[in-house]
């Protein structure tokens, strides 16, 4: 009888440790999916609108987004950050990316952006603030590496 109670006592004491261990390991599985998406995005020549929306909304700390690409893209469309009719698999341009970032991070633009908010003047604002550097045109497609450089500069400037 004494042996039985000691075994039960050890099982009861180990249960919270096992549960805590499982809860600590759980985020590893969740972040592994994000890490795989990050690696895929970094290796691409042309980032899609859905990929960009997912990473931008996640970086802007929008915790309502669970599926990094699909839900984020739908949310960006609903908020008017992409033009109606934009497909998730379309390649994102610097102009659209600029507008998406400025809206997601609530970045204030210049006079023209204030009166005519859109990709054209968002792009000009991003260039004037040195978030976008080098050869750039609002119609240029964005590679994964360039996307993360731009996003990193925005996060550094906004304190993210």
DSSP letter for 141, please: B
Q: Are 73 and 49 in contact (CB under 8 A)?
A: yes
pLDDT band (50, 70, 90) for residue 36: confident
Stated length of the chain: 160
Summarize pLDDT for 40-81 with one digit per residue, the tens.
Answer: 888 999 999 999 999 999 888 755 555 567 888 999 999 999
Mean of pLDDT over the chain: 81
pLDDT band (50, 70, 90) for residue 13: low
Distance CA 33, CA 37 (A): 6
pTM, to two decimals: 0.76
pLDDT of residue 66: 53
CA distances from 127 to 4, 13, 137 (A): 72, 59, 10
DSSP assignment of 75-125 equals: HHHHTTSS-TT--TTSBPBHHHHHHHHHHHTT----HHHHHS-SHHHHHHH
2/61: higher pLDDT = 61
pLDDT of residue 17: 54
């Amino acid at each position: 009888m004494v042996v039985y109670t000691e075994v039960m006592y050890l099982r009861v004491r180990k249960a919270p440790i096992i549960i805590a261990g499982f809860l600590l390991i759980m985020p590893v599985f969740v972040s592994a999916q994000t890490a795989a998406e990050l690696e895929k995005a970094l290796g691409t020549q042309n980032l899609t609108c859905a990929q960009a929306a997912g990473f931008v909304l996640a970086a802007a700390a929008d915790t309502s987004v669970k599926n990094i690409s699909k839900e984020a893209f739908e949310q960006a469309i609903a908020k008017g950050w992409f033009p109606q009719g934009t497909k998730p698999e379309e390649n994102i341009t610097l102009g659209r990316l600029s507008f998406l970032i400025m809206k997601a991070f609530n970045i204030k633009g210049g006079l023209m952006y204030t009166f005519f908010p859109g990709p054209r003047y968002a792009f000009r604002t991003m260039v004037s603030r040195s978030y976008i550097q080098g050869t750039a045109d609002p119609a240029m497609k964005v590679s994964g590496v360039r996307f993360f450089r731009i996003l990193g500069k925005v996060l550094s400037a906004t304190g993210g």
